[in-house]
Copies of this chain bind each other. A is one copy, B any other.
């Protein structure tokens, strides 16, 4: 793997840089590029991000990726987007298997297919007879049990778990056995993954909808208490 500019990328050496922040830059800069902006300063980018990130922080982050800015001018947007794509792993395509094709799995598939051209849904599984056999954008929903045949064929790197909590662990085990390398888990359970010793560990990221809600309720409660005191 060689970065677009020929330097060896040093993705793993980025200290002090948060990936969500880089993704925010990436999204904002893609929009700016689409709108015809060719050059941008760190302060302008901070404005695009609603001043949620200081311009100094932006410069620190971008500097850590390699020097791309021109002093006195700012940054070239196009190469910056490329560089960020590279670091975020978005310079290549990825194949995704969705497990659980209820409303959530369906929503995820539709959202990703519509917006992210580098992510491809290549397999869909469910265990409900009502859903199995249905077709979504040319992909037939298969029984979970047939994952052992299908996944080696289509070869996907990422699994999305959108099943009820009770079924999530079994799905995760099965996907790990199929050498899936990363999981996005919507089920509100802690997954225990004992990947085979030969394979690298499975990367898991959890999205907990109830947890997100409770962050809101915490802050609402705190806000009420503050206003009562005032």
Chain A residues near B (Cβ < 8 Å): 1, 9, 11-12, 19-20, 22-24, 26-28, 49-50, 52, 87-90, 94, 102-104, 106-108, 110-112, 115-116, 119, 157-158, 181-184, 188, 190, 192, 200, 203, 205, 207-228
Q: Which of B19, B217, B222 contacts A215 (CB 8 A)?
A: B19
Q: In the bound complex, what is the Cα–Cα distance between A49 and B206 (angstroms)? A: 13
**B112, A210: Cβ atoms under 8 Å?**
yes
Q: From A157, which residue of chain B is reached at the shortest CB distance?
A: B220
**B203, A223: Cβ atoms under 8 Å?**
yes
Q: How far is the CB of A23 from chain B (nearest CB, A)?
A: 5
Q: In the bound complex, what is the Cα–Cα distance between A89 and B41 (angstroms)? A: 41
Please indicate the chain B residues that have their CB under 8 angstroms from the CB of A210 in the complex.
111-112, 115-116, 119
Quick one: copies of this chain in the complex?
A: 2
Please indicate the chain B residues that have their CB under 8 angstroms from the CB of A223 in the complex.
181, 200, 203
**B216, A182: Cβ atoms under 8 Å?**
yes
**A12, B225: Cβ atoms under 8 Å?**
yes
> Given contacts A112-B210, A211-B20, is CB(A220)–CB(B89) below 8 Å?
yes
**B157, A209: Cβ atoms under 8 Å?**
no
Q: In the bound complex, what is the Cα–Cα distance between A158 and B11 (angstroms)? A: 39
Q: In the bound complex, what is the Cα–Cα distance between A34 and B111 (angstroms)? A: 36
> Given contacts A19-B215, A106-B103, A215-B23, is CB(A220)–CB(B207) below 8 Å?
no
**A209, B49: Cβ atoms under 8 Å?**
no
Please indicate the chain B residues that have their CB under 8 angstroms from the CB of A88 in the complex.
214, 217-218, 221
> Given contacts A115-B188, A188-B27, is CB(A215)–CB(B225) below 8 Å?
no
Q: Which of B184, B192, B224 contacts A50 (CB 8 A)?
A: B192
**B89, A221: Cβ atoms under 8 Å?**
yes
Q: In the bound complex, what is the Cα–Cα distance between A116 and B209 (angstroms)? A: 11
Please indicate the chain B residues that have their CB under 8 angstroms from the CB of A228 in the complex.
1
Q: How far is the CB of A155 from chain B (nearest CB, A)?
A: 14
> Given contacts A107-B103, A218-B11, is CB(A112)–CB(B225) below 8 Å?
no
Please indicate the chain B residues that have their CB under 8 angstroms from the CB of A221 in the complex.
11, 87-89
Q: In the bound complex, what is the Cα–Cα distance between A221 and B104 (angstroms)? A: 27
